[in-house]
Every structure is written in C-alpha cells, then in structure tokens.
Amino acid sequence: MLMSGFFLKVFNKCFNQSFILDEITRRKDRKTMTTKILSAGDIIEARCTKCREVLNHRIVAMVEGKVVRVECNTCNGVHNYHAPPAVKAAKEAKAPKKAASKPRLTSAAPRASRRDPVEVEREEWASLHPTFDIEKALSYDMNARFNVKRLILHPSFGLGVVKAVIVPNKMQVLFKEGIKLLRCHCL
Ligand SMILES: [Zn+2]
C-alpha cells in the first residue's frame, strides 16, 4: 500500500507536469495563431465609419481569409471592414506601379509614318504658299521650258511650284491639291 501510494504520488506529479507543459504549448500555439491568421472574434485595427477614426474592432465575419465585417470596440457599431489608411495607402502605392509596367500599345507612330502622301503634299503647298510671289508666276504652257522651283500658274490647278523635271518632257509640280505630273518642254 505504501508502495502504491508512492507510485500514485509520482504518477500525479508526472501527470500534472505534462498537463502544465501541454497548457504552455497550447498557449504558445494560440499566440502564434493570432499573429498569423485572423479569425472571427479577433481584435484588429480598422477605420470606424461612425467614429471616423482608426480604432480597435472585433472581427464579426470573414470571407476567404479576408476580414469582411467588424464591430467597433468604441461605439459597438457593426460595419464593413475598412483597412486603416496606412494599409490602404501601401496597397494603392503598389497598384499604379503594376499598371505602369504594363506595355502600352502605341498605334500613333505607325499611323503617322503611313500618312497619305497627298495629305503631306497639300501641307507642304500650304506652308510654301505664303512665299509664292504671284507676279513672278509663269502661265503654264506645255511647250514652255520650266526650271525646278519655278512658280507657275495653271488654269485648273492654280499656283504651283516645280519640284522636279523629268527629261525629256515631264515635270512634277506641287499644287494645292498635291503633286501633278505635267507635260513640258524640258530639252
Ligand atoms: Zn466606432
């Protein structure tokens, strides 16, 4: 009896010790749990819609690991979770960076190089027009001889400037409507 009483004492001592150890590990687990994964009932910082301040809130509802609804510890109001401004600002700061890194399709450049050549010619004529001296313009005559840069007056195309002479009998003339190929006497 004395022996069994002794063993009982030892057994109780061991049991108590193991129980205490178990309780310590359980407390440790709980502590790490709260820092890592949030769950309903936990206290977190959130912006209160009524108090208009960042205050401690108790998590009321969570969806897919994200806090959805919280209860304010100050006013006890239950509302949707609003992240504190610091967290929100950090999230927003990251977002534009992602958008900026995305390659943008630039269709303006190829379109510019593929511009209608007639349109370019018309613009050139418009830019040259103020320099034209009508007094010096020669009336167009298919049997006359014209030099490059010669200003001519055509009955239907109007004022134009000779851009190029193509031997033996043609010339390129820039008119308001664009470059026209006209007959001339080049030789
Ligand atoms: Zn509140």
**3-state DSSP assignment of residue 177:** coil
- The C-alpha atoms of residue 177 and residue 129 are separated, in whole angstroms, by 12
In the reported structure, the alpha carbon of residue 42 is separated from the centroid of ligand 1 by a whole-number distance in angstroms of 16
Contacts of 150 (CB under 8 A, 6+ apart): 138, 161, 162
In the reported structure, the alpha carbon of residue 91 is separated from the centroid of ligand 1 by a whole-number distance in angstroms of 23
**pLDDT tens digit sequence for 63-117:** 988 999 999 999 999 999 999 876 656 666 665 555 555 555 555 555 556 788 8
In the reported structure, the alpha carbon of residue 30 is separated from the centroid of ligand 1 by a whole-number distance in angstroms of 27
Q: 181 pairs with which residues across the strands?
A: 172
**pLDDT tens digit sequence for 14-60:** 555 555 555 555 555 554 444 457 889 999 999 999 999 999 999 99
What's this model's pTM, rounded to 2 decimal places?
A: 0.40
155 preceded by a cis bond (ω within 30 of 0): no
In the reported structure, the alpha carbon of residue 53 is separated from the centroid of ligand 1 by a whole-number distance in angstroms of 7
Q: DSSP letters along 156-169, please?
A: TTEEEEEEEEETTT
Q: Which domains does the chain possess?
A: 37-88 (2.30.30), 117-183 (no CATH)
3-state helix, strand, coil in the chain (%, to 5): 40, 30, 30
Which is more confident, 185 or 81?
81
In the reported structure, the alpha carbon of residue 57 is separated from the centroid of ligand 1 by a whole-number distance in angstroms of 8
In the reported structure, the alpha carbon of residue 33 is separated from the centroid of ligand 1 by a whole-number distance in angstroms of 26
In the reported structure, the alpha carbon of residue 38 is separated from the centroid of ligand 1 by a whole-number distance in angstroms of 20
Q: 26 pairs with which residues across the strands?
A: none
